[in-house]
Chains A and B, each alone.
Chain A
Amino acid sequence: MTNAVIKTMEVCRYFGEGETLVKAVEQVSITIEPGEFTAIIGPSGSGKSTLLHLVGGLDNPTSGVVELSGTNIANMSGAQISDFRRDHIGFVFQAYNLIPVLSAEENIEYIMLLQGIAGPARRQRVQEMLELVGLNDLGSRRPNQLSGGQQQRVAVARAMASHPDIILADEPTANLDSKTGIALLDVMKDLNETHNMTFVFSTHDEKIMSRASRLIHMEDGAVVHDERR
């Protein structure tokens, strides 16, 4: 028994068949411990997104096992896996994270609404989360009134709000200029250090990956190098 947040065992994810078979993820066995700040790096098409989707329960492996906080997430029903994601995993995507018709506050509040948290508690936590990511005054703005960096911070705040075991971020800085990207990473790193939040994010930006405490190199779907620093 381990208390690993993520444990994959020989997980594979293939797309297509025959001539067009793509081995997007091939025999990946990794373990992510609580409190780690891990970057998955590798060239475009190396399988970073696919791996993040697998460990986030957004996609099902072709073979192998994915365990999240000790639970095998294969064979969960639609509602079960939804609830599992809601309560255990935070997501930050490359872009278009936010619901355009909801304000920053409401975007954060939404996930707690799904969790059934009462109104006053929800609103209090929304303010705490906005403060954590340094957007105290911008809560009432709609996504289109926020810069790209601010939008990504709201996405991080939303991911934090549900008290997940881990936050998965797929190229969270790819659409940002490097300064803004580094600032976002600093916010994430800070949450990792002060709140012991476990992060796994993918990137191919050198400056970004240098902030990670662990680097997982991928090539052609396989992990070729795994270093803790």
Chain B
Amino acid sequence: MSYLSIRNLSARLKGRPDQILRRVSLEVAAGEVRGLVGESGAGKSMIGKAILGTLPQSVEITGGQIILDGTDLLALPAAQRRTLIGAKCALIPQDPLTALNPSRRIGPQITNRLVDILHWSRADAEKRARDLLAEVQIPDPERVMRSYPHELSGGMRQRILIASAFAAEPKLIIADEPTTALDVTVQKQILKLIAAMQARHGTALLFVTHDLGVVSKVCQSLSVLYAGYVLEDSTIPEFFHAPKHPYSRALLAATPKYTDPDGSLTPVSDAVIAATRAEVEAADRSAHV
């Protein structure tokens, strides 16, 4: 039984026919790392937001289920759903520079969920925060907890956000391109850190990225999204050795291989894109009958 299972999730812009998600189904088993790839605008972030309940007001869910640990989130009243998500899920955001509240110290930003939502004692929460900061290799956690975000570097802030995500021992973490906003040199360290933390805590991870190279290193399975439609759902070995969908094949050919970073690349051809479009639209039509 999967920890998270999304079934036939559809979403669109309010009052418009534009589909943002088209009957998306995907599963994340407990402790599993699933990659979510697709071109920009494919709807990757929307899936994450739908799970966490942070969709923009202009977007409405038109059908489907999001089942977290056996409970359908979409069937719950808003308040219950919020506390459930707060207790069982966490987000590692994309941009560490904007994801910390500039007017509050770091310490409370890590401990607030533990104290306010999970009713830990303040002392326990602070001890937990210190341990986690040490675990993500922040020197002098005491001092950092008393700092304001603008006093810290981007890499440090992302470490803090990772620590904060793991604070309540969530069963599922959603990481939405957690390294794109960082320096190339820092990116690798942060990726390693996320992978290590995930392994140590046994947390399931939904990893949103553009980078197939990263996917091959971090993930166990993978969903390929195109225009809000899941084209392929495979394990990593399957995907890299025998991708099922022509679009996936083209995507692979367009990605530099980490074994051979200078090898020749072919961009995804217009023909493949047109064929994929047509397939998505055909699937849409058949779903509406």
**Are A and B co-members of a single complex?**
no
